[in-house]
Amino acid sequence: MITFDRVSVRYADSAGFALHGVDLTVPEGELCLLVGPSGSGKSTLLGTVSGLVPHFTGGELTGRVTVDGRDTRDHRPRELADLVGTVGQDPIAHFVTDTVEDELAYGMESLGLAPAVMRRRVEETLDLLGLAELRGRALRSLSGGQQQRVAIGSVLTVHPKVLVLDEPTSALDPGAAEEVLAVLQRLVHDLGTTVLLAEHRLERVVQYADQVLLLPGRGEPPVLGEPAEIMTHSPV
């Protein structure tokens, strides 16, 4: 589903590579946990999948990243929005409307989907993520876990094949984090969504991972494999 073909990234203000020598494939319909020390390039790698790197961040990307056959070098983030959904650790910073229902519809409005399609998908997403009772609530009145579920829902209504998340539970308490991780498991196992997730609270997430992608840093090549095997040798 996601293929990295000898991918390296270097930013203009840096002497070294932010990411170097990534050459692997993330399988379709699995939850892949991205781990590595601070500064190993986790956020940069996620950005190459969504197209934010290099189209938004700048810098030089060599090699090729393809998502379901679509080359991210040739497609800006807007042109990947129907294929890749991106969720960060601070949903409030990314919300563009005021209520749950409006936020779920916004991405589809941007893509010009028909009103009947939008209504059906909003209802499906409200039910899938357990948000039906919150449909009219103001986003800022929700708990952290509820806000993160809405953030995930806002990209799911577009029906992406890939969901990219950068530390989505780091600001949540254990109960709220469990809510979010349960949603991600449901997306993988029920809908076949491919989830690529970076998280430094590994004790929360590693038991849900089908694969672990380790960025060791220090110039060492990335490694993808079974969680038990990779975590045995992981520096984090």
Range of the domain at 63: 2-233
What CATH number corresponds to the domain at position 75? 3.40.50.300
| For residue 219, pLDDT beyond 80 | no
Report the percentage of the chain scoring pLDDT > 70: 100
Residue 138's Cβ-count burial label (10 Å; 0-12, 13-18, 19+) is exposed
Per-residue pLDDT band for 138 (boundaries 50, 70, 90) equals very high
- Residue 209 to residues 163, 199, 213: CA-CA distances in angstroms? 14, 11, 10
Q: Indicate the number of domains in the chain.
A: 1
| For residue 190, pLDDT beyond 80 | yes
DSSP 142-195: S-HHHHHHHHHHHHHTT--SEEEEESTTTTS-HHHHHHHHHHHHHIIIII--EE
Using one digit for the tens of pLDDT, what is the confidence trace for 86-112? 998 888 888 999 999 999 999 899 888
The mean pLDDT value for 149-169 works out to: 92
Per-residue pLDDT band for 72 (boundaries 50, 70, 90) equals very high
| For residue 218, pLDDT beyond 80 | no
Per-residue pLDDT band for 66 (boundaries 50, 70, 90) equals very high
Tokens at 75, concatenated: 């497609």
Residue 134's Cβ-count burial label (10 Å; 0-12, 13-18, 19+) is buried
The mean pLDDT value for 70-76 works out to: 95
| For residue 68, pLDDT beyond 90 | yes
The mean pLDDT value for 144-171 works out to: 91
